[in-house]
Amino acid sequence: MMDQILLVKATDADAQEVLEITKRAFDLYAKEIRKRESVAALYETLDDVLSDIHHKNVYLARIDGEIVGSVRFELLTDGIAYLSRFSIDPEAQNLGIGGLLLEKVRIECLSMGVRAIALHTASKMRSTVAFYLKNGYYIHSISKDSDYIRALMVNEICEMDEMFDYETVCAKAKH
């Protein structure tokens, strides 16, 4: 039974657990897309996670003190945030934790003046695509720049007054 769910900013002390949860979650992702060698999250190191904690916004979901999920986002140009390494421990999936973390990111992005949040996910993972659609994202485009077909998904959290080239802005983000 869950007594307390906390959504907090990650610190250096959390890096090892973030690394472990990321690898567990992305191991499932890699099995689903059958392209393990193309999933960069599986090859990141503790130093990579620490770098992200220092240079990006990294948030955690804790249930009763235990980290069960993490998400990272960075601010790009033109008021766009790029979300990456969204990971929920496989044993904690389908509890609503992912939706809570996405809402935390949305609230943080709004407070930072972000106009839209973008991310990539494997387009063949129907349940993952459906999850993002349910949480306010739409499929902007698809690409095969990572050796498998990925959907660029966007959540326009503020009114966008013109067509926007998300692909160009997001190409600059480290996946």
Using an 8 Å Cβ cutoff, are 138 and 127 in contact?
no
Amino acid in the structure at residue 125: M
Q: Are 143 and 149 in contact (CB under 8 A)?
A: yes
What is the structure's pLDDT at 136? 94
The total domain count for the chain is 1
Residue 164 has pLDDT above 80, yes or no: no
Provide the pLDDT confidence category of residue 93 given band limits of 50, 70 and 90.
Answer: confident
Helix (H) or strand (E) holding 143: strand 138-143
**pLDDT at site 128:** 87
Return the biggest CA–CA distance within the chain. Answer: 47
Q: How far apart are CA 10 and CA 15, in angstroms?
A: 8
Write out pLDDT tens, residues 104-141.
Answer: 999 999 999 999 999 988 787 788 899 999 999 999 98
pTM of the model: 0.87
Q: Which two tokens stand for residue 34?
A: 């059958």
Q: Give the whole-angstrom CA distance, residue 72 versus residue 38.
A: 19
pLDDT digits (tens, 9 = 90+) for 43-87: 788 998 999 999 999 999 999 989 999 999 999 988 899 999 998
SS3 23: helix
The CATH number covering residue 80 comes to 3.40.630.30
Q: What percent of the chain has pLDDT over 90?
A: 50
Query: Residue written as tokens 């973390």?
Result: 101
- Domain of 63? 5-171
